[in-house]
Amino acid sequence: MALKLNVPTLDSPKAAEELKKVLLTSEPDAQIDVNAETKIVTVESEASEETFKQLITASGHKIG
């Protein structure tokens, strides 16, 4: 099941691309889509929701 997280601090396509790189560095097997327009991060992974929340906040973003 896909995990969808609202990340209201995603303010540009560049920020979305940087966040995706950070997530893939930690979880290279994950399927990740970061949409700057909708501010939604969609993740398919074996890793826990908490793991991705921690990675997102550690990279300077907030989860809504």
Residue 44, pLDDT score? 97
Whole-number Cα distances in Å, 9 to 1, 2, 31, 39, 61: 24, 21, 21, 8, 6
Domain limits of the chain?
3-58
CA-atom Rg of the chain in angstroms: 10
CATH 3.30.70.100 for domain 3-58, yes or no, is: yes
Structure tokens at 52: 């991705």
pLDDT reading at 1 higher than 80: no
pLDDT in tens, 43-59: 999 999 999 999 999 99
pLDDT in tens, 8-52: 999 999 999 999 999 999 999 999 999 999 999 999 999 999 999
